[in-house]
Amino acid sequence: MIFMNTTWSPKPSRWLPKIPVDRIREIQKKRIGVDPPLDPHPDFKVRVWRNSEEFYAAFAMDMTKRIIESFLEKRDFWMIAPTGPVPQWRILANNLNAVSEVLDGFNLRHVHIVMMDEYSDPEGRTPTVDDPRSFQYTIYTNFWSRLKEEIRMPWKDILFPTYELVDKIPDIIIDGGGVIDVVYGGIGWGLHFAFVDREAFASKRWANGDLDKWKRIRMLKAIELDASTIYQNALHSFGSNQWGVPSHANTVGPALILGDDEIKVKYRSFWCDGVCGPDMNWQSMAIHVALYLEPNPELPATFLKTLPGEVNVLHPLEEPIRVEIR
């Protein structure tokens, strides 16, 4: 027999952005890929991938195609990219090495990569490329060092928001033409993109609750990471050690993802793979909220559907969410 306590009335944690409970119940019933997002841009789409092999191969192939197209068109290619997930970087290196064997003269010296973020201390000082905890180390070992030496771009053309570069990156982009061909990314547990956590909107240091000011932020130096971000990164990068995750980071701001008056972003391609194992994931509700809730700067990923781009989802993250105690 199941006993139901009709007087029990649980509430969401006060630490979470306030969303009406009825909206949460409505959102969690949606099936991504079947139920259309809330008021999407005409050039926004959602794709669901059935397994991780297809997912990472498609992610890498999207990058590969854009790099080849720009090479054949004899133009520079600019992209903003996250460090994680990581598997597509290794596949991309293999793809590009293979292209060099069949496409005469192919190289990557036309490619400019702006990496979304790097961990920092509270003053914005960042680790070096030889520190295994750094995003620089991850990209160096999983991508750049795997490229054939004769085709790879100079390491300096992969721009990380280090202590030395974080304030210079927007001007470098503008001097390079001011056009980002594509922003790749993911959706955080707390609905961030890049490391644009809630502090960017709420803090007096940044937007102080002003939406227009928030949209104009190009870089965030030493932003304090949200607790959800700490736990998320502990889960997939630090062996579950939440005390090992740095408290701050340098990151691109909303303007470099949404675009602004001087920096044009043509397209946004976001990839979500937060499956932990059988019947367990950390990302499904975050994706649902991003696609079905009204835009909210405390939940930055809710803006993605309002602009040209796509969100790619690994099965079973697209399924309606069942609230169960396991």
Asked if 251 contacts 193 with a C-beta cutoff of 8 angstroms, the reply is no
Per-residue pLDDT at 164: 97
pTM: 0.95
* All domains in the chain, ordered by first residue: 39-314 (3.40.50.1360)
Structural tokens at position 201: 């909107």
Report the distance separating Cα 16 and Cα 36, nearest Å: 25
Residue 65, exposed/middle/buried by CB under 10 A (0-12, 13-18, 19+)?
Answer: exposed
Q: How far, in Å, are 9, 21, 205 from residue 183 at the CA level? A: 42, 32, 26
Structural tokens at position 262: 């001087």
**Sequential pLDDT tens for the chain (326 residues):** 455 556 777 888 888 889 998 999 999 999 999 999 999 999 999 999 999 999 999 999 999 999 999 999 999 999 999 999 999 999 999 999 999 999 999 999 999 999 999 999 999 999 999 999 999 999 999 999 999 999 999 999 999 999 999 999 999 999 999 999 999 999 999 999 999 999 999 999 999 999 999 999 999 999 999 999 999 999 888 889 999 999 999 999 999 999 999 999 999 999 999 998 788 899 999 999 999 999 999 999 999 999 999 999 999 999 999 875 44
Report the distance separating Cα 34 and Cα 215, nearest Å: 30
Strand residue runs (E) in 195-237: 219-224
Cβ-defined contacts of 70-76 (< 8 Å, 24+): 70/110, 70/111, 70/181, 71/103, 71/106, 71/107, 71/110, 74/110, 75/110, 76/110, 76/111, 76/112, 76/176, 76/177
For 230, residues 6+ apart whose C-beta sits below 8 A from its C-beta are 242, 245, 247
Q: Are strands 117-120 and 309-314 parallel, antiparallel or unpaired?
A: unpaired
Sheet holding 219-224, edge to edge: 117-120, 248-252, 219-224
Per-residue pLDDT at 325: 41
Report the distance separating Cα 178 and Cα 308, nearest Å: 18
